[in-house]
Amino acid sequence: MADKDYAMNISDRRPTGKFITPILKGLGYTLKNFFSKPITIMYPTERREVSDRWRGLHRLKVDEQGALKCVACGLCAKICPPQAITIVPYEEAGGTRYPKEFVIDELRCIFCGFCQEACPKDAIELSKVYDFVDYQREDFIFDIEKLKNPEKFIFNGK
């Protein structure tokens, strides 16, 4: 029967007569591990490099003049699956549009990256910041100022 392949017969568990060599082999293996370099790292003082495609906290990009690239078209808010983005647009007399309010609820966000793909102006992207922590739910609701510089929120162990 097939169950003999995975179920251990009692007779298979009897001592095979080999004791010393396996014991010494095991000791040698652990000693080799003891002298090799640990694979863990000293987070948060050391951190692993994440992929360039990593999807972390959002960043609102700015142009050379320091103004937001965003034109408040609302495509990101439209495509956002959990509807985490809220935009209040504002249009000046000359036709320049910019967001008066741009709020992302980072607790609702599922970090799918659709907003980045949908944006026609390349104004929003997902940064590599993955370890933002805070104490209040309100602190996870990011406005324009917080979204401009997500690197500020990298966890430093404090």
Partner 1 sequence: MLEFMTILIIKTLVAFVVSLLIVAYSTWIERKVLGHVQLRHGPHRVGFHGLLQPIADGIKGFFKEELLPDNADKPLFLLAPIISIGAAVTLVVIVPFGDKITIMGREINLYLTDLDVGILLVLAISTIGSYGGILGGWSSGNKYGVIGGLRGTAQMISYELSLALAVIAVVMVSGSLSLIDIVNSQTGLWNIVKQPFAFILFIICGLAELNRTPFDMPEAEAELACGFNVEYSSMKFALFFMAEYCHMFVFAALVTTLFLGGWHGPVVDGPHWFFLKVFIVIFFCVWERSTFPRLRYDQVMSFGWKILLPFGLLNIMLTGLWMLVFNL
Using DSSP, state whether 81 is helix, strand or coil.
coil
Distance CA 89, CA 97 (A): 7
Q: Which is nearer to partner 1, 14 or 53 (CB)?
A: 14
Asked if 110 contacts 26 with a C-beta cutoff of 8 angstroms, the reply is no
Q: Which is nearer to partner 1, 9 or 36 (CB)?
A: 36
CB of 33 to partner 1, least distance (A): 5
Q: Which is nearer to partner 1, 33 or 51 (CB)?
A: 33
Asked if 59 contacts 127 with a C-beta cutoff of 8 angstroms, the reply is yes
Distance CA 121, CA 69 (A): 7
What residues make contact with partner 1 under the rule CB under 8 A? 23, 26-27, 29-31, 33-36, 38-40, 42
Query: Whose CA is closest to 60, among 134, 145, 133?
Result: 145
Q: Which is nearer to partner 1, 20 or 133 (CB)?
A: 20
Strands (E), 1-92: 58-60, 85-91
CB of 22 to partner 1, least distance (A): 10
CB of 18 to partner 1, least distance (A): 15
CB of 32 to partner 1, least distance (A): 9
